[in-house]
Structure 1
Amino acid sequence: MTQDNPQFRQAVVDRTPGIGLGVGRGGDPSHSDHRGYAAPDRSTARFPGRHRPRDRRTPVTVGTVVQDFLASIVVFLVALPLCIGVAVASGVSPEVGVITGIVGGIVAGMLPGSSLQVSGPAAGLTVLVFGAVQEYGVGALGAIVLGAGIVQIVMGICRIGRWFQAITLSVVQGMLAGIGLLILVGQLYPLADRKAPGQALANLAGIPELVSTVAGDRRYATAAVLGIAGLLIIVCWKYTPKFLRKVPGPLAAVVVVASLVAVFDLPVNKLTVGSLLDAVSLPTAGIFTDLADPGLVGMIFAFALIASAESLFSASAVDRMHTGPRTNYNVELVAQGAGNAASGLLGALPMTAVIVRSAANVHAGARTKLSRILHGVWMLLFVLAAPGLLSLIPITVLAAILVHSGWKLLNPMQFRAMRRQNVGEAVIAYLTTAAIIATDLLEGVVIGMVATMVKLAWSMSHMSMSVDRQEEWTVLRLTGSATFLRLPNLLEKLESLSGSHVHVDLSRVFHLDIAARSAIETWAGRCRTEGTAVRVTLPHGADPDFAPLDAH
C-alpha cells in the first residue's frame, strides 16, 4: 500500500479520527468514483479551484499573513470543543486537553513537517489514554507521553515513517472501526450524564440497563435529550445556510445546548474547570524513574505507534487536499515526537495530527504554518482570559461530539465497499475490530496483523489443480503457488494421471519452489522411462535449469 493508492487515501480521509469529510479529489465529494474511493490525481492544471499553498521558498507577504490569521480563527473554533471533549473522555480534566491543543499548535506548529497539518489531542487515542489513566494513574501519563514522543523522534531519525504506508488497509480500517466503536459505546453513558461501567464488553452489555434507567429518571432523560439534540445539530449543520456553516458544527452544538441549559436552568452535569497553570505538571526526577518501569514500556510503544499511524494517515489525507509540497513522513514523525515530548513534560495528553482541524485549516485558505501556530495562541489567550465560559458547557454535548466522531471512525460503508472487492480483506477488518473490542487496542491490532500474515501465507501457498482429458493428451493445469506445502496433493494428482501422453501446464504458476520442482522432475523422468510422453509448459521466466522438463 502506497501513498498513491486511491483506496488508502480515501480510507484515511473518511476514517481518520474526528472526520467524515468524504472528500475525493480536492475535497469535493463529486470527484469520488462509484465505489466511494477517491480517484487518483492526474493533473493539477485540470482542477484550478484546488487550494495551492504558498511554496516554502516564497517570502511571507501581507496577503499570506491575512489569510493565515483568518484561517487560524476557524481552526481555533473547531479545535477548542474537541480538545475539551477528548480530555473528558480520556479521564482527565478539560484544561489538560487544552494544554495539549496549545502545545500542538505552538510547539509542533513551529517545527518542519506538513505545514498545513494541525496537531492536538485526538479522539482515536482516548481509548488508550483512558486505559493508561485507569491502570497507572494520571501521574504516570506525562511519563508515558514523553516516552512515546522520544520513540517517535527516534523512528523519524531512523527513517521509519514510510513504513507506515505498508500497513494493510484492512487492519487500518479494522483498527479505526474498533476505536470508533469503543468511543461510540463508551460515550453513550455520559450522553445521559451516567458513568460508563468501564471495559468495552461491559459497556455493551450495560446498554439495556442504561436505556431503562434513562427512561425512568427525568434528570437523565433531560441530559439524553440535550445530547441527542446536540448530535442532530452536528449531523445536520452541513444543510444549514452557507453563512451559518462558517461556524463549525460542534461549536454550534455547544453554544445551542449550553444556552438551553442556562436559560431554562436544566439539571445536567457541566464541566468543572480549574486553573490552566494548576493543570501543568512540570517534570520531576520521578518521571525518569517511571520511564524505566517495564510495565510502562508496552504502553509507551502503543502510544507511539498508534499516534504515529494516525498522524501519517492524516498527512496523506491532507496532501490530497492541496497541490503544494508533499509531506516528508520522517520529518513529520520527528515534529510529532517533539510535540509529544513537550506535552509529556507538561503532564498533558498525547497529540496527533487531526484531520478535521487540518481540513478546516486548508479549506479556510491557510498558506503557511503561521495559521496553526496562531490557533494555539488563540487557545492559550482564551483559557487565560475567559476560563469561566468553559464551566458553562454541559458534559452531554461533549459526549455528543465524540459519539459523532466515533460513528465517523466506525463508518460501516467502508466495510461494505471492502466486502464487495475482497471478502478476505473484509474478514480481517472485522476480526481486527472484534479483537479490539474483546481485548484492547494494541492486542487487537496485533491480532489483525497476524491474521494478515496468515492470509498472505495462505495466498502464497495456495494452488489449484484441474485435469482436462482430451483425445490424445491428459492435461494437468496448475494455478497459484507450487510449494512444499502443497506437495502431498501435487504428488497424489500426478500419480492419478493416466494415458500415454501427459501435459503438465505450469504457465499460471507464479511461484515454484525447489521441492515442487524436484517432485515434478522425478515424476516426469519415471514416466518417460516407462514410455509415457510427458510435456511440461514452464512458468513465465522460469530458471533455464528447469528446461530439461520440456525437452521431451
Structure 2
Amino acid sequence: MPWNSARVRAVLRTDLPASITVFLVAVPLCVGVSVASGAPAELGLVTGIVGGLVAGALPGSSLQVSGPAAGLTVLVHSAVTAYGLPALGMVVLTAGLVQVLLAVLRLGRWFRAVSAAVVEGMLTGIGIVLIASQSYVLLDRKAGGEALSNLVGIPAAAVRAVDTVAGGASLAVGAGVVAVLVLWKYVPRRLALLPGPLVAVVLAAAAVRLLDLPVATVRVDGLLDTLQPPGVEQLALLLRPEVWGTVLAFALIASAESLFSASAVDHMHAGPRTAYNRELLAQGVGNAVAGALGALPMTAVIVRSAANVQAGARTKAARILHGVWLLLFALVLPGLLDLVPLAALAGLLVHAGGKLIAPRARWRLWRSDRSEALVLLATAIGIVTTNLLEGVAIGLVAALAKTAWDVTHIRLHVEQSAAGTLVRVHGNATFVKLPTLVDRLEDVTPTGPVELDLSALTHLDAACRQALTAWADQHRRRGVAVTVTPEHELVEST
C-alpha cells in the first residue's frame, strides 16, 4: 500500500500511541531478562532495539513484537556460565544464521507440527526454573547450581532472608512487585492504560529511594561500553560439539516460541495473517544482528505483542517505533536504570515464570485430556531435573509414545439391558490390536438385539473389518438381530 497523507495520519493516530505503550512494557522486561541471564542490563535493551528496528521492519507478522524473552533466560544463563559473556554473541549470531537457513529451506511451517503439549511443557519447565533461580535474587541470596535443588531450598532461603535487614527489605520489594502485577487487572480502566510492569518497577524504585532501603540496584556501564561484538577468537568455539548443541537449542526453541506466538497473535486481530517462513527469516536476521553486537537472543514475545494489539496497532510501524524509543532511552536516559532494584526485576520475572506455568490452563488440560497433560508433565519434569535441551527431547519422546498409543489403542464399551446389547468400539482398529479385539468380542453375550456402533472409530483396517463382520454374521446365524452404525462400515457376508 503506497504511503499518502491519509495513511500517515492513520499511523500517527493508532500506531504511534501503541508503540509508546509497547516501549513502556518492553523497558523493564528487557532489563529484567538481561540481568537474569547473567548479562549487563544494556544488552537486553540492545536486543529489544534490534527486535524493533531490524526484525520489526522485515515482512512476516505485522503486529507481533520481538525482543529478549523470559523463555530463553535459563538457556542464555547456562551459555554465559559455560562459555563466558564474550562468547554469547557468536552463539547468538550462529543461531540466527541457522534460523535463516531454516527459512530459506521453507521449514517455518513445520514448527507448527510440534506437539502443543511439548511446547507448553517447555514453557512450564522454563517457568519453574525461572522461579527457582529468581526467588534467590528476590531474597538477596545466591542460588545453587541445579534447578531442582534451588527449588527445594527456597523455603530455607526465605527463612534466612527475613532474619537480615537486607534480605527482608529485598523480599518486601520483590513481593510488592509481584502483588502489583497480580492485582493490576483489577485497577480502574483509566489507570489500567499504564503498563503494570512499568508501574511496579517505578513504585519499587521510589520506595527503595525514599525509604533508603539496603537493596541492590542495577549496575549501568553505558550502551557503547557494554557491546561486545564477537571476534576471530570466538570462531574457535564452533569447533566444540557442545557449543553446537547450544546453538541448535537457541535456534529451534526461539523459532518455535516465535511461530507459536505468531499463531496466538493472529487470533487477536483481523489483519493480515503471519507468513511463517518470512517471520522465521526476520527472526533469524534479527538474531544474527543481535549476535554481531554481542547482545542477547530474541524471540517474538507474546506479552509485548498482546500489548501492541490491545493498544490498537494496525501496521508494523508500531513495533518499529518501539525500537526507536528504546534506542533513544538507551542513549539519553540510561542512568535511570541505576535506580531500579534487582529485587524488583526478580519479582517481575517470578511473576513471568508463574504465567509461563499457567496452573489454571494446565489443570484444564488435565481434566480434558490426561494423555496430553502427561506429555506436558514429562517435558516440564525433564527440564527441571536435567536441562532445557534434554527436557524437550524427553517431551518429544513422550509425544511420540502417546501417538503410538493412540494409533494402536482400541476400546470396547458394552451396555446390556433387557432391550438388547450395545457394543461401542473406539479408537484405531488395526491388525496390531486384532487379538485384543477378537478376545473382547468373544466375551460379549448378547441379551437381545445387538447394535454394533462403529461411529467412534478413527480407523478400521481390512483385518479388523473382517473380524467384526464374522462376529456379526455368527450372531445372525444364531437368530440374533445385529445392526451396524454406520451401516456402510460392514457388509453382511453371504
**TM, length-normalised to structure 2:** 0.88
Q: Distance in 2 between matches of 1:92 and 1:202?
A: 23
- Say whether 1:376 aligns with 2:323: yes
Deviations 1:220-244 (A, max 9, x none): 1111111111222222233334443
1:32-71 equivalent positions in 2, closer than 5 A: 56=1, 59=4, 60-71=7-18
- Indicate the RMSD between aligned Cα atoms, in angstroms: 3.1
Q: Distance in 2 between matches of 1:410 and 1:293?
A: 33
Instruction: For residue 394 of structure 1, report the CA deviation from its aligned partner.
Output: 0.9
Q: Distance in 1 between matches of 2:316 and 2:417?
A: 71
Instruction: For residue 217 of structure 1, report the CA deviation from its aligned partner.
Output: 1.2
- Say whether 1:364 aligns with 2:326: no
For the Cα contact (< 8 Å) 1:100–1:349, is it kept in 2? yes
- Say whether 1:237 aligns with 2:184: yes
2:243 corresponding residue in structure 1: 296
Q: Distance in 1 between matches of 2:213 and 2:39?
A: 25
Larger CA deviation: 171-180 vs 336-345 = 171-180
Instruction: For residue 542 of structure 1, report the CA deviation from its aligned partner.
Output: 7.8
Structure 2 residue matching 1:244: 3-state secondary structure: helix
Instruction: For residue 133 of structure 1, report the CA deviation from its aligned partner.
Output: 1.5
1:108 corresponding residue in structure 2: 55
Equivalent residue in structure 1 for 2:133, among 167, 172, 186: 186
Structure 1 residue matching 2:295: 3-state secondary structure: coil
For the Cα contact (< 8 Å) 2:86–2:230, is it kept in 1? no
Equivalent residue in structure 2 for 1:512, among 446, 450, 460: 460
Q: Distance in 2 between matches of 1:474 and 1:249?
A: 60
Q: Distance in 2 between matches of 1:166 and 1:108?
A: 24
Q: Distance in 2 between matches of 1:379 and 1:498?
A: 74
For the Cα contact (< 8 Å) 2:441–2:471, is it kept in 1? yes
Larger CA deviation: 182-191 vs 382-391 = 382-391
Deviations 1:462-493 (A, max 9, x none): 2234679999x999775432323323334545
1:320 corresponding residue in structure 2: 267
Instruction: For residue 120 of structure 1, report the CA deviation from its aligned partner.
Output: 0.5
Question: Relative to 1, partners in 2 of residues 1:541 and 1:169: Cα closer, same or farther, differing over 3 Å?
Answer: farther
Deviations 1:7-60 (A, max 9, x none): xxxxxxxxxxxxxxxxxxxxxxxxxxxxxxxxxxxxxxxxxxxxxxxxx55644
- Say whether 1:484 aligns with 2:434: no
Q: Distance in 2 between matches of 1:273 and 1:455?
A: 49
Q: Distance in 2 between matches of 1:127 and 1:454?
A: 27
For the Cα contact (< 8 Å) 1:116–1:372, is it kept in 2? yes
Equivalent residue in structure 2 for 1:93, among 1, 18, 40: 40
Larger CA deviation: 375-384 vs 96-105 = 375-384
- Say whether 1:551 aligns with 2:493: yes
Structure 2 residue matching 1:114: 3-state secondary structure: coil
2:353 corresponding residue in structure 1: 406
For structure 2, list consecutive stretches of 5 or more residues without a partner in the other structure.
Answer: none
For the Cα contact (< 8 Å) 1:510–1:539, is it kept in 2? no
Q: Distance in 2 between matches of 1:541 and 1:524?
A: 13
For the Cα contact (< 8 Å) 2:469–2:493, is it kept in 1? no
For the Cα contact (< 8 Å) 1:65–1:370, is it kept in 2? no
Paired residues in the alignment total 488
Q: Distance in 2 between matches of 1:328 and 1:160?
A: 12
2:150 corresponding residue in structure 1: 203
2:93 corresponding residue in structure 1: 146
Deviations 1:375-397 (A, max 9, x none): 22222222222222211211000
1:386 corresponding residue in structure 2: 333
Deviations 1:422-446 (A, max 9, x none): 2222222222222221222222222
Structure 2 residue matching 1:464: 3-state secondary structure: strand
Q: Distance in 2 between matches of 1:350 and 1:75?
A: 19
1:129-168 equivalent positions in 2, closer than 5 A: 129-168=76-115
Deviations 1:70-102 (A, max 9, x none): 322222111111101000111111111111111
Deviations 1:326-368 (A, max 9, x none): 1111111110111011111111111011122222222333332
Structure 2 residue matching 1:381: 3-state secondary structure: helix
Question: Relative to 1, partners in 2 of residues 1:488 and 1:385: Cα closer, same or farther, differing over 3 Å?
Answer: same
Equivalent residue in structure 1 for 2:194, among 244, 247, 258: 247
Structure 2 residue matching 1:206: 3-state secondary structure: helix
1:397 corresponding residue in structure 2: 344
1:454 corresponding residue in structure 2: 401
Q: Distance in 2 between matches of 1:466 and 1:361?
A: 50
1:307 corresponding residue in structure 2: 254
1:330 corresponding residue in structure 2: 277
Q: Distance in 2 between matches of 1:135 and 1:535?
A: 72
For the Cα contact (< 8 Å) 2:89–2:295, is it kept in 1? yes
For the Cα contact (< 8 Å) 1:276–1:384, is it kept in 2? yes
Letter in 2 for 1:483: T
Q: Distance in 2 between matches of 1:479 and 1:252?
A: 54
- Say whether 1:344 aligns with 2:287: no
Letter in 2 for 1:551: S
Q: Distance in 1 between matches of 2:242 and 2:38?
A: 20
Question: Relative to 1, partners in 2 of residues 1:534 and 1:295: Cα closer, same or farther, differing over 3 Å?
Answer: farther
Amino-acid identity (%) = 50
For the Cα contact (< 8 Å) 1:506–1:536, is it kept in 2? no
Q: Distance in 1 between matches of 2:471 and 2:314?
A: 70
Letter in 2 for 1:446: A
Q: Distance in 2 between matches of 1:497 and 1:112?
A: 61
Q: Distance in 2 between matches of 1:245 and 1:490?
A: 59
